[in-house]
């Protein structure tokens, strides 16, 4: 792309104007062939953050990013493949359990996942703690496994949406992440390129999410659905709470353990509400009736757990090793005073969970209380596991306890289709 | 500078906050030692364009930029050295004539100048058309010449304010030029590092200037003065018109010819008004009384012209060659209809002047009418000179002629101290 043309595009965005679809195509292509450099892209991204982007621009950028790399397609023309996405949470075990549950209930689920980012966990990091589990499937292996056993969870490959990888890294360094259009394009482009036909977006909102304001989360959810529809994909978005950890465990292997217990029917009730919603929406997009009941049955009759074992084995994992995973000794962290839990510093817990699991695959945290719970001074609010657990002793400060009672935040704010 | 610290600085600016002086020091130092990269700097500059900068931030940035390189200082402690700056114009001969006039009238004038930028001319490019003239003085030569003959005009050296050079180039590519604080810091930092004690800023406003709105030009003028004062420098700013060329000639050598005729007493009356104001303000800052009368005398008694010859000889130029410079054959460009000149596309004329003088040192344009003048169809509005003059034939379109009369714009909007 010519430098003068790029300058004019930046100027138009800077001055509050709208870029055309062909501008976005040229900008992304130019960024990939290095005729648009990081400085120009960063200035444009900052102008997008501060001046906004129209829906048409977000769609055009998504399209341009999809075209920057390989697109997966599933061979059977009448097969509906579904996929889910989370905008990033703490103790977010939904992918780990909703994928095998939906597959057990009849859907074909093809999921490419990311790694931990900031304080939020990454499904790929978690799966890697299962002995032998291979997250690095080739596209052919990924497609074949979905055809054969109806589910796979693998790491993003470099070949898919390379523009997103470069632009996201740039935005992270230049404080230009929070632009609705840029966020939506980054999310949807990866889903489109991954080849599924129906998506469930779990849009987190609250203090520990990337979109803390529920109104903005609603807008993002709407854009994710509308952009997906422009690509002829079906989509549902669930706006869910991230003011406290979703499940109980925070880490990598320790979340695999929680997912395993969940699929054995011993899951946290709060997490279960969201998991059933997500898995049920996946089934619905796959064209399967009576979705809720099927998901609950897959959970209760153990077929979801068997599907998880099947997926582990299919990806080279050791099922016995998975069943033997355990968290080891715990450090009890107790409430400093009596009262009610008003808030939890989830960002701090997320970072601590990452640190505890960095050198010890089953290191991490187990949360014992939720917002609204009454606690007595000296009662455990948290358990720290793993080699470095002694360093977690001061995490009692992450629980804000007051004398007055408080209502817990809702888990699901809304579900949009 | 640590990447996370820089990210937080960008975030603060993005969210409308103010950076501290030590932040600006660290950012400029980091940009120079490459621990802050172009992408981060571009994002920060765009945030400055869209969210503004406080006066304290502009001062801190100016200070940090001055410290990025060498600072000139003049040896005699009680000597007041003065300098002038133009924010960029077309047919802007002020530096070429005000410097020798003020020196002839008793001031010590030390001027470092830039090259052409966009449609505007550069004093250094013009001086280079004088046979033998050396613009590349060392700092020692520059200082010694000002001591000896009271004036010098030389090219910016790489050693002074290297941060400005890099940041300006980045802003140009990333459409982040128009931030008041960034513009002011760029201008004042170079003046401070050049060593003078008093400055006259010629802030152009109007269609062909970088600050087209007179109110913004007023703000810029105020900031230039106030930042200079914070460095204990005296300063005057003159907001002057750039809706039409200042003088008559547009190019490089062709503007040297106009400057020569001007100093011989045959200057354009409009240009003369501004030249006298600038030279007189230079004298005033140099502590010389009765400034206006002395400037007019230097113009009328030929001492200004002799000072120009002295400066040319001091910088290796050929005085006879200078006196022999002439523009050669002209192409007459005539009005397409009768009426009054309502507007002139000065940007177009500026670019055309640069093209005409690119391969022919005395190529360029000579403007024959001003805004408000009545013209008859077929009467010359412009003359094109030089080898490529045939390409200038369609420049009649650069003159907007209407039937109604129109008042000419003022030349000087205000003078601030």
Q: Sort strands B330-334 and B364-367 into parallel, antiparallel or unpaired.
A: unpaired
Q: Give mean pLDDT, residues B180-192.
A: 96
SS3 track for A372-410 = CCEECCCCEEEEEECCCHHHHHHHHHHEEEECCCCCCCC
Phi-psi region of A20 (alpha: psi -120 to 50; beta: other; left: phi over 0): beta
pLDDT tens-digit map of B269-293: 999 999 999 999 999 999 999 999 9
What residues of A are in contact with residue B38 (Cβ under 8 Å)? Answer: 37-39, 42
CA distance A309 to A315: 10
HSE, side-chain direction, 13 A CA sphere, residue B253: 24
Q: Is A260 helix (H, G, I), strand (E, B) or coil?
A: helix
Q: Is the dihedral of CA A12, A16, A20, A25 positive or negative?
A: positive
CA distance A376 to B352: 82
Shortest CA gap A22–chain B (Å)? 20
- For residue B159, the 8-state DSSP code is T
Structure tokens at A28: 């992304």
Contact between chains at B10 and A175 (C-beta distance less than 8 A): yes
Contact between chains at B43 and A45 (C-beta distance less than 8 A): yes
Shortest CA gap A118–chain B (Å)? 12
Interface test mutation site (partner A, options B38, B39, B48, B173, max chain A beta carbons within 10 A): B39
Structure tokens at B223: 């900031």
CA distance B398 to A261: 79
Q: How far is CA B304 from the centre of its chain?
A: 20
The answer for residues whose C-beta is within 8 angstroms of residue B357's C-beta and 6 or more apart is B125, B129, B251, B252, B253, B254, B363, B364, B386
Structure tokens at B241: 């018109």
pLDDT tens-digit map of B119-178: 888 999 999 999 999 999 999 999 999 999 999 999 998 899 999 999 999 999 999 988
In B240-384, where does DSSP find H-type helix?
Answer: 253-261, 269-285, 291-300, 303-314, 319-324, 346-358
Question: How far apart, in Å, do the first and last CA atoms of chain B sit?
Answer: 38
- Going by C-alpha positions, the residue among A199, A207, A196, A277 that lies closest to residue A241 is A207
Question: How far apart, in Å, do the first and last CA atoms of chain A sit?
Answer: 38
**How confident is the prediction for chain B on average, in pLDDT?**
95
Query: Scanning the structure block, which residue is given the tokens 């949406």?
Result: A161
Nearest CA in chain B to A176: B43
Shortest CA gap A279–chain B (Å)? 37
Nearest CA in chain B to A40: B174
Structure tokens at B371: 């805004």
CA distance B64 to B202: 24
What residues of A are in contact with residue B175 (Cβ under 8 Å)? Answer: 7-8, 10-11, 14, 43
Interface test mutation site (partner B, options A47, A48, A174, A176, max chain B beta carbons within 10 A): A174
Please report, rounded to a whole number, the percentage of residues in chain B having pLDDT higher than 70: 100
Q: Residue A375, class by beta-carbon neighbours within 10 Å (0-12 exposed, 13-18 middle, 19+ buried)?
A: buried
Q: What is the pLDDT of residue B95?
A: 96
Contact between chains at A11 and B175 (C-beta distance less than 8 A): yes
Q: Is B16 helix (H, G, I), strand (E, B) or coil?
A: coil
Shortest CA gap A172–chain B (Å)? 8
Q: Which helix (H) or strand (E) holds B228?
A: helix B214-230
Q: What is the pLDDT of residue A406?
A: 97
Bridge partners for A401 per DSSP: A341
The answer for residues whose C-beta is within 8 angstroms of residue A127's C-beta and 6 or more apart is A96, A113, A133, A135, A153, A256
Q: Give mean pLDDT, residues B379-400.
A: 94
Nearest CA in chain A to B37: A39
Query: Please, what's the largest Cα pairwise distance for chain A?
Result: 66
Nearest CA in chain A to B14: A50
What residues of A are in contact with residue B173 (Cβ under 8 Å)? Answer: 3, 7, 39-40
pLDDT tens-digit map of B233-271: 999 999 999 999 999 999 999 999 999 999 999 999 999
Query: Scanning the structure block, which residue is given the tokens 């412009």?
Result: B382
Contact between chains at B14 and A39 (C-beta distance less than 8 A): no
Torsion over CA of A193, A199, A200 and A206, rounded to 10 degrees?
A: 40
- Strands (E) located in B144-192: 151-155
CA distance A342 to A335: 13
Sheet holding A81-86, edge to edge: A151-155, A108-113, A81-86, A198-205, A234-241, A412-416
Give the one of A7, A10, A173 whose C-beta lies nearest to B40's C-beta: A173
Shortest CA gap B11–chain A (Å)? 6
pTM for the complete prediction?
A: 0.89
Query: Scanning the structure block, which residue is given the tokens 């003959």?
Result: B149
Q: Which of A84, A150, A171, A233 is catalytic?
A: A171
Q: Is A186 a residue of the active site?
A: yes
CA distance B184 to B203: 11
HSE, side-chain direction, 13 A CA sphere, residue B19: 32
Query: Scanning the structure block, which residue is given the tokens 């420098």?
Result: B233
Q: Is A164 a residue of the active site?
A: yes
User: Distances in Å between the alpha carbon of B239 and those of A179, B218, B286, B414?
Assistant: 39, 7, 21, 5
Bridge partners for A399 per DSSP: A344
What residues of A are in contact with residue B46 (Cβ under 8 Å)? Answer: 10, 14, 42-43, 46-47, 50
A40, B174 Cβ separation under 8 angstroms: yes
Q: What is the pLDDT of residue A178?
A: 85
CA distance B81 to B90: 27
Question: Taking an 8 Å Cβ-Cβ cutoff, which residues of chain B contact chain A?
Answer: 3, 7-8, 10-11, 14, 37-43, 45-47, 49-51, 170, 173-176
Q: What is the pLDDT of residue A266?
A: 93
* Angle subtended at Cα B45 by Cα B40 and Cα B47, rounded to the nearest 5 degrees: 95
Contact between chains at B50 and A173 (C-beta distance less than 8 A): no
Nearest CA in chain A to B39: A39
Shortest CA gap A399–chain B (Å)? 26
Q: What is the pLDDT of residue A115?
A: 86
Give the one of A11, A42, A50 whose C-beta lies nearest to B39's C-beta: A42
Q: Which of A23, A164, A202, A360 is catalytic?
A: A164
What residues of B are in contact with residue A50 (Cβ under 8 Å)? Answer: 14, 46-47, 50-51
Q: Sort strands B81-86 and B198-205 into parallel, antiparallel or unpaired.
A: parallel
Query: Scanning the structure block, which residue is given the tokens 């001591």?
Result: B147
Q: Mind listing the pLDDT tens digit of every residue in chain A (417 residues)?
A: 998 899 999 999 999 999 999 999 999 999 999 999 999 999 999 999 999 999 999 999 999 999 999 999 998 777 899 999 999 999 999 999 999 999 999 999 999 998 888 888 899 999 999 999 999 999 999 999 999 999 999 999 889 999 999 999 999 999 998 899 999 999 999 999 999 999 999 999 999 998 889 999 999 999 999 999 999 999 999 999 999 999 999 999 999 999 999 999 999 999 999 999 999 999 999 999 999 999 999 999 999 999 999 999 999 999 999 999 999 899 999 999 999 999 999 999 999 999 999 889 999 999 999 999 999 999 999 999 999 999 899 999 999 999 999 999 999 999 999
Sheet holding A374-375, edge to edge: A374-375, A339-344, A399-402
- Going by C-alpha positions, the residue among B210, B226, B139, B143 that lies closest to residue B178 is B210
Q: What is the pLDDT of residue A364?
A: 97
Nearest CA in chain A to B9: A175
User: Distances in Å between the alpha carbon of B350 and those of A133, A248, B246, B381?
Assistant: 67, 69, 11, 15
CA distance B50 to B46: 6
Q: Is A301 a residue of the active site?
A: no
Contact between chains at A50 and B45 (C-beta distance less than 8 A): no
Provide ipTM, 2 decimals: 0.87
CA distance A26 to A22: 6
Shortest CA gap B43–chain A (Å)? 5
Structure tokens at B277: 């104001």
Give the one of A14, A37, A41 whose C-beta lies nearest to B49's C-beta: A14
Catalytic residue numbers of B? Answer: 85, 164, 171, 186, 190
Question: Taking an 8 Å Cβ-Cβ cutoff, which residues of chain A contact chain B?
Answer: 3, 7-8, 10-11, 14, 37-43, 45-47, 49-51, 170, 173-176
Bridge partners for A234 per DSSP: A198
CA distance A110 to A286: 12
Q: Which helix (H) or strand (E) holds B138?
A: none
Contact between chains at B38 and A39 (C-beta distance less than 8 A): yes
B114 pLDDT above the threshold of 90 = no
A221, A239 Cβ separation under 8 angstroms: yes
Could you tell me what percentage of chain A is helix, strand and coil, using 3-state DSSP and rounding each to the nearest 5?
Answer: 50, 15, 35
What residues of B are in contact with residue A176 (Cβ under 8 Å)? Answer: 10, 14, 43
Nearest CA in chain A to B41: A39
Q: Which helix (H) or strand (E) holds A168?
A: helix A162-173
What residues of B are in contact with residue A3 (Cβ under 8 Å)? Answer: 173
B91, B255 Cβ separation under 8 angstroms: yes
């Amino acid at each position: 792309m010519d430098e003068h043309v790029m300058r004019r595009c930046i100027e138009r965005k800077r001055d509050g104007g709208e870029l055309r679809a062909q501008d976005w195509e040229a900008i992304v292509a130019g960024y990939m062939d290095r005729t648009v450099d990081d400085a120009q892209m960063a200035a444009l991204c900052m102008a997008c953050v501060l001046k906004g982007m129209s829906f048409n621009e977000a769609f055009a950028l998504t399209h341009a990013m999809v075209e920057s790399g390989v697109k997966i397609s599933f061979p059977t023309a009448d097969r509906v493949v579904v996929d889910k996405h989370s905008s990033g949470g703490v103790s977010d075990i939904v992918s780990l359990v909703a994928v095998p549950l939906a597959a057990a209930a009849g859907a074909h689920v093809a999921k490419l996942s990311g790694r931990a980012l900031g304080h939020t966990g990454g499904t790929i990091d978690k799966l890697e703690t299962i002995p032998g589990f291979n997250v690095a499937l080739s596209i052919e292996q990924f497609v074949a496994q979905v055809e054969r056993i109806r589910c796979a969870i693998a790491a993003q490959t470099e070949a898919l949406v390379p523009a997103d990888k470069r632009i996201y890294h740039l935005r992270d360094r230049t404080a230009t992440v929070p632009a609705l259009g840029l966020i939506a394009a980054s999310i949807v482009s990866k889903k489109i390129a991954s080849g599924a036909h129906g998506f469930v977006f779990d849009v987190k909102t609250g203090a520990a999410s990337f979109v803390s304001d529920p109104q903005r989360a609603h807008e993002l959810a709407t854009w994710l659905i509308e952009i997906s529809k422009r690509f002829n994909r079906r989509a549902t978005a669930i706006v869910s709470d991230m003011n406290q950890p979703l499940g109980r465990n925070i880490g990598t292997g320790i979340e695999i353990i929680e997912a395993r217990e969940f699929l054995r029917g011993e899951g946290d009730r709060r997490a279960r509400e969201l998991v059933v919603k997500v898995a049920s929406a996946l089934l619905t997009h796959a064209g399967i009736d009576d979705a809720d009941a099927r998901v609950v049955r897959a959970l209760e009759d153990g077929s979801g757990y068997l599907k998880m074992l099947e997926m582990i084995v299919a990806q080279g994992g050791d099922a016995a090793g998975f069943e033997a995973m355990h968290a080891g000794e715990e450090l009890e962290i107790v409430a400093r005073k009596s009262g009610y839990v008003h808030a939890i510093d989830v960002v701090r817990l997320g970072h601590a969970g990452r640190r505890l699991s960095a050198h010890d695959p089953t290191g991490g945290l187990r949360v014992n209380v939720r917002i609204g719970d009454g606690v007595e001074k000296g009662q455990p609010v948290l358990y720290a596991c793993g080699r470095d657990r002694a360093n977690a002793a001061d995490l009692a400060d992450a629980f804000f306890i007051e004398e007055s009672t408080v209502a817990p935040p809702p888990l699901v704010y809304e579900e949009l289709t």
